[in-house]
Amino acid sequence: MGQSSFLPPANDTVFYMEKYIKLVDDLLDSMEATGTLAGYQCVINKDGVKNYSRAGGFSIHETDNDGVRVDMTTDRRHNVASLSKYITTILLAMVLEEHSIPFDTAIVSYLPSTWTDVDEPSIHPNHITPGNPCEITFEKLVTHRTCLDFEGGTENNACSNGVIPDCNAGFYYLTDDLLARLALPEDLTCCGQNDYQNANFELARVLITHIVYPDLDEEAANYNDISVLLYHSLLNQMIYQPLGIDAPWGEIALQEYHQTEPIRAYQYPFIPTNTTLTEDSSACHGILGAWLTSNWDRNAGGSGLVLSTEDYAKIIRTFIHTEILVSDSVKNYVIDNFLGLSLNEQTFGITPFGTFRNKNGRRGATCNGRAYSTSLFIYPNGLETVVFFNSNTRTINGQGIPIGPQGIIRDAWASSWKRDCNAFKHVTREGSLAGNWTAIDDPRTNGDPSKLLFITEELTSSNNSSSPQGVWYTNFGNWAIFNQDGATMNIAQRFNVLVIDEDNPNAFKHTAQLNNLTGAGLSRTIITHPELNNNPDAHIMITQNWQSTPVVYNVHPVGVFYDSSSGYWQIYNS
């Protein structure tokens, strides 16, 4: 498998999966308890396998369904909003790899031919001229780094820049609209370079279809419908079908979906008595919740896919952990270069433990704040989280970073790391005991004779031993604690065990030899080590280590003292 620079922290930190899941559970528990959520669904992958799934609340409130509540489940599907962009990025990666096209390639050669006609070009030269800062490549397109001046979604088409410069996050662009904007020069004062725009991904969708179907007639009267249908068809053929996902795609299936029982979108916090609709109720399709239908081709490429968290999490873990969709090298390029994310989104996941990828989406907020909120988190330790809320949970702080429930889940990952000294407790039991020793069964020590182990016995009960103790590495591939005097080890003795790597500069193995023995009866051994020499303030832990060659038992308890006359520490038999 290929190696990505998208790597977890150094091995002096440990990720606690149980803590991460508990933090997610605590959030969802508290939101359920307070009644602030309508419904939610969450799936967590770990190392390419679904590790956790949970859903709660309702997908349709009884007020909107003749008194019948429809519960939320992880296989219920709704509009995933801008999380569609990451799926478009994956599909584009598949198509580019299949046709041996690098992501940093300019798009000009793959646009509809009449758009780039030499005699009557339809595209402004700044977007297609090599070396021009505004030349569009596939990579710029899926990281929102084009200079395309798409107009905003307001009535007067004015720009609607927000915290995340957002010129048209919900605007509806047909292919003729795309062409009209490509014909204009850049306008960096408004909707220009680095702006988050759905239409960048709608243009990516157009390119996908023209790469696969180069003879597609862009001058046909129904070209837009054909282009979108081909995009959906490729999505189904290349991603859905191979993964066994039967999600609706194309005009007929999506219309049928909206005619059944689509998940409603609700306000956040959810208020069961708020039935007021200031907008046209026919557009909201509900009393408490909005039935956010849309044209099947609305924002195709940038939005509109209908998936569950089960579907979405399966696509992501297949993309990240296998080569079914793309090769490792292409996957790594997508991950390492933040493809599918805007420049602002690339800063969402910076933590002391590594940078993760976070993509968020929202569909709606037009019907009294009713909306779907969706989030994807791809972490650098083999963990991915997909969470959907059918209420308008996502808000943004002054730096453009999502806060609220999505922010809590995002921060839970960094809160689940901690520096680990590889310490644990070993309790003797019937299966671990063999005469005067107890076998340690722990992944931090098993199979590694080079580890340095330090032990102390807890004073707990009459089961404690008065025997001097040590450690040894057995022929069975694990470490053991033993009584030096041969006394039988008792059940329920408790030991604190510290495990240190042999290359740690502050830990080492000392062997008593003739040239370092001293004292009456050679009962002491002199330690020479740069961290200890002439350092009376050092804190020292020692544990005797038995080795098969030479076979030496020391039946005495041992201690340490500092010899101020020589400047050396010594180990002594007490």
Tell me the three-class secondary structure of 189-235, residue by residue: CCCCCCCECHHHHHHHHHHHHHHHCCCCCCCCCCHHHHHHHHHHHHH
Q: How confident is the model at residue 145 (pLDDT cuts 50, 70, 90)?
A: confident
pLDDT (mean) for 168-184: 57
Q: What is the pLDDT of residues 90-100, one digit of tens each?
A: 999 999 999 99
**CA dist., res. 451 & res. 501, Å (int):** 5
pLDDT in tens, 29-57: 998 888 888 999 999 999 999 999 999 99
| pLDDT score of 168 more than 60 | no
**pLDDT reported for residue 420:** 60
Token readout for 270 is 């959810």
In the chain, domain spans: 13-417, 423-500, 514-573
- Name the least confident of 282-286, 322-326, 520-524, 570-574: 282-286
Determine the CATH number of domain 13-417: 3.40.710.10
Average pLDDT over residues 370-382: 92
pLDDT for position 7: 53
Averaged pLDDT of the chain = 84
- How high is the pLDDT of residue 191? 46
Q: Helix, strand or coil for residue 477?
A: coil
- Residue 415 pLDDT exceeds 90: no
Report the pLDDT value the prediction gives residue 387, as an integer from 0 to 100: 96
Please give the structure tokens belonging to residue 43.
């799936």
Collect all residues with Cβ–Cβ distance below 8 Å to 137 and sequence separation of at least 6.
103, 104, 105, 106, 107
Reported confidence tier of residue 282, pLDDT bands at 50, 70, 90: low
Of 178, 191, 180, the C-alpha closest to 151 is 191
- Residue-wise pLDDT tens digits, 218-274: 888 888 889 999 999 999 999 999 999 999 998 899 888 887 778 988 888 888 877
**Residues 324-328: what's their mean pLDDT?**
98
Structure-block tokens of residue 16: 């606690």
DSSP assignment of 428-468 equals: --TTTEETTEEE---TTTTT-TT-EEEEEE---STT---S-
CB of 45 closer than 8 Å to CB of 317: yes
- pLDDT of residue 197 exceeding 90, the answer is no
Q: In what order do the strands lie in the sheet with 494-500?
A: 423-427, 494-500, 452-457
Kindly report, residue by residue over 353-362, the tens digit of the pLDDT.
889 999 998 8
